[in-house]
Amino acid sequence: MVVAVTFKAVINPPEQLVRAISQITPENPFYTIEYVNVRKRSGAEPCCITLESDTVPVTGCPGFLTRGRFNSRLEITSLPQIPEHKIFWNGLFDFCRHNGVSVLSIQTFASTEPSIGEERKRTSLKRRSEYRLDLTQPDLWEAMNRRHHRLIKRAVKRGLVFRRSNESTFRSTHVDLANLSLDRRRGRGESIDSKIDIADVNSFIECGAGEIIQAVIGDDVHASMLLAKSRKGGYAQSSGTSAFGRETGASHFLFYEAAKLLKAEGAEVFNLGGADEHSTGLQEFKLGLGSTRIDLESAEFYTGSILKRFATGAISLLKGVTLPI
């Protein structure tokens, strides 16, 4: 007997439902109860979005509602694998309509679903890539290319050592280095509108969703990473390198040490994050660690009424500003 698959969404879900979803994909750090708590601290209202078979979730993910004066937004940070696309998208659009959601944002951080696969109501589509390192392979060192071997050996020779530290001083240093790296990428022409904020870093650490790891000489930090973690996986949430660190292979050293740490703790996947299609140097760096490129998509959908969209646009024009969503 074939049991039908049904869509279900629960706002402010019980912890056991979040944990049930996390157990389906234990390598995804954006499905954990700790990450849900991070988003709650920023003011988002969590929900659990699932496909169920006989009341048991077969796939699912957390979603995050933010309610504004004129529009409400639902963000899915990491799209799950979707065995029944029609049931999933029809249920999701119905949920948005019944809960006054005007904008649906679908992101694919740490996702393995390669395509959004839905065009109704879509207002934008972006193709992106991430780099996944298989931690179950027997020798992480052998998986890397020779250039990475050379740079890691250089880092060790220059005195860099690995440190795990969540102290407040080192959190601030992480933010400074991560934003410095983003500024360098903008200077190379990459389109980056994000900024690393100390409040977000504090939330990750204080909610137990991740930790800071660094490559240091004494108290001088030359590479830093906020490592998001789950039971079976890790994700390089943000990272940065000093000028000295760039010369001495500090990032290569730190990412390799992060992979070793995760593997020792029983993780199976280390997601090195994304790279812009024009950032060939960053792509080569991540591929050189032995990772596999995963091609993904992200998209936004307008799920509000035509009347609301017209009214919001008219008010924006009258005020001469774009209203926040």
The CATH number of the domain holding residue 26 is 3.40.630.30
**C-alpha–C-alpha distance, residues 43 and 234, integer Å:** 24
State residue 123's pLDDT score: 95
Task: Retrieve residue 212's tokens.
Answer: 């800071």
| Pairing label, strands 269-274, 45-53 | unpaired
**C-alpha–C-alpha distance, residues 10 and 20, integer Å:** 13
289 within some domain: yes
170 within some domain: yes
258 within some domain: yes
127 within some domain: no
- Residue 12 lies in domain: 5-121+303-319
State residue 187's pLDDT score: 63
How distant, in Å, are the alpha carbons of 178, 197, 258, 260, 278 from that of 228? 15, 15, 11, 15, 26
243 lies in the same domain as 311: no
149 lies in the same domain as 99: no
Q: Which residues of the chain are modeled with pLDDT < 70?
A: 1-3, 185-193, 306-325
pTM of the model: 0.90
262 lies in the same domain as 151: yes
Closest CA to 76 of 325, 276, 299: 299
Closest CA to 301 of 87, 106, 64: 106
State residue 167's pLDDT score: 84
In our burial notation (b when 16+ CB lie closer than 10 A, e otherwise), range 105-124 reads bbbbbbbbbeebebeeeeee
239 lies in the same domain as 307: no
Closest CA to 21 of 32, 35, 9, 8: 32
Question: How many domains does the chain fold into?
Answer: 2
114 lies in the same domain as 155: no
141 lies in the same domain as 277: yes
115 lies in the same domain as 138: no
268 lies in the same domain as 150: yes
324 within some domain: no
**C-alpha–C-alpha distance, residues 199 and 68, integer Å:** 21
**C-alpha–C-alpha distance, residues 22 and 27, integer Å:** 8
